[in-house]
Amino acid sequence: MFQIFIFLLVGLLAYYLVSNMLFNMEKQHIASGWGFMQKESSFEIGESLIPYSSSNSYGRALLVGALNTLLVALIGNVITLVLGTVIGIARISTNWLVSKLAGIYIEVMQDIPVLLQLFFWYAIFYEIFPSPRQALSPIKGVFLCNRGAIFAVPAAHQAWGYMLIALAVASLLVFFLKRWAKKRQDQTGRRFPVFSASLLLILGLPFVVWLVNGSPTEMSVPELRGFNFQGGMAVSPEFAALLLGLVLYTSAFVAEVVRAGIQSVKKGQTEAAMSIGLRPNLVLTLVILPQAMRVIIPPLISQMLNLTKNSSLAVAIGYPDFVSVANTTINQTGQAVEGVALIMAVYLIFSLSTSLFMNWYNKKVALVEL
């Protein structure tokens, strides 16, 4: 009875709102529907991974935005993971100075809104850094100026592409090697040095490819020509500020997750492992890490998802991510309902696929108690 009442209430509310909306849209002559996706967008996008110009359609502009979001999320998550782990370990270091500094970093970064941090870094790039003519060069081959950060990168050569393929092949080989080694150990009890063999494969195979292709060492060093840099790889100030803000903010949370995970493994576990005669590195890889990972992974994934969702703040500093492009689209076409629905749908796809993965992972590693 109560349920029927609730459903009626929600249904009525939805009906009321939607009917109002349709009425209002008709009155303001807003056509609903997805027809606008094919229309010419007539706005430029500063950065794009795929060819795009203002004569392309809104659909393609939105695709450019989605790819930019993915790019910043991917790079941001990788750097955050590394930096967060380092700071998390530093937090429990026996070195008083390092541990205290890590603590201050975590506390300060967690307590300042990420949007404020983005504004801060963006201002640093735009206002504090000099023009390209007086660009700062903290390390050889890296230039910082108000046009962004410019790095020296290896000059284009066919060897780099082949090396990437070699890396993929090596990873595949390592995967099969691991399976084979586990099977052999289960059957015969003999161990195979998987780690050193994998390392050799991952590093060695691309190296051999590099040698075979004539070992190119030429670098493309950025050079000042006229008012801007030529050569090298340039990162726009928007992208750099967004990445820096997101990484510094999220890595503080990741550090806390890592610290809590490592500390959650009871001391008795270490002692028990040592007492059955495991060497220190085996204690870490066979006993502590598997247990810590079970605690670390779920909150870690949710932090990575947070970073992805926070990348939507790019709209505030003008990096053309999905929300930013969708916002421009809404302003130009007036298709507000479709635009906001698209934003929500894209992020929902990210989060739902992540939670599906999470459920699968949780089932895989959950404690099986007898």
Partner 1 sequence: MDRALNDTGQPAAARRPPIIKINVLAWMKANLFNGWFNSLLTLVVLYLLWKIVPPLIEWAFIGSLWTAAAGACQQSDGACWSVISHNFRFIIFGFYPYDQHWRPLIAMLLLFGLIFYSRDRKRWRKSLMYYWILGLATMGILMKGGIFGLQPVETTQWGGLPLTLLLSVFGLTAAYPLGVILALGRQSTMNGVRRLCVVYIELIRGVPLISLLFMSSIIFPLFLPEGVTINKILRAQVAIILFTAAYIAEVIRGGLQGMHKGQYEAADSLGLNYYQAMRLIILPQALKMVIPPTVSILISAFKDTSLVVIIALFDVLKTSQTVLSDPKWMGYSPEVYIFVSIFYFLGCFSMASYSRKLERELDTNR
Q: Which residues form the interface with partner 1 (CB under 8 A)? A: 2-3, 6-7, 10, 17, 20-21, 23-25, 27, 93-98, 101, 107-108, 110-116, 119-120, 123-124, 127-128, 309-310, 312-313, 315-316, 323, 327, 330, 336-337, 340, 343-344, 347-348, 350-352, 355
> Least separation, in Å, of the C-beta of 222 and partner 1?
25
> Least separation, in Å, of the C-beta of 25 and partner 1?
6
Question: Which one, 7 or 357, has the nearer CB to partner 1?
Answer: 7
> Least separation, in Å, of the C-beta of 286 and partner 1?
23
> Least separation, in Å, of the C-beta of 24 and partner 1?
5
Question: Which one, 337 or 365, has the nearer CB to partner 1?
Answer: 337
> Least separation, in Å, of the C-beta of 149 and partner 1?
18
Question: Which one, 35 or 113, has the nearer CB to partner 1?
Answer: 113
> Least separation, in Å, of the C-beta of 144 and partner 1?
15
Contact 124, 117 (CB under 8 A): no
Question: Which one, 40 or 107, has the nearer CB to partner 1?
Answer: 107
> Least separation, in Å, of the C-beta of 229 and partner 1?
23
- Spatial distance between the Cα atoms of 257 and 295, rounded to a whole number of angstroms: 8
Q: For 143, phi and psi rounded to 5 degrees?
A: -120, 135
Question: Which one, 287 or 307, has the nearer CB to partner 1?
Answer: 307
Question: Which one, 94 or 188, has the nearer CB to partner 1?
Answer: 94
Question: Which one, 208 or 352, has the nearer CB to partner 1?
Answer: 352
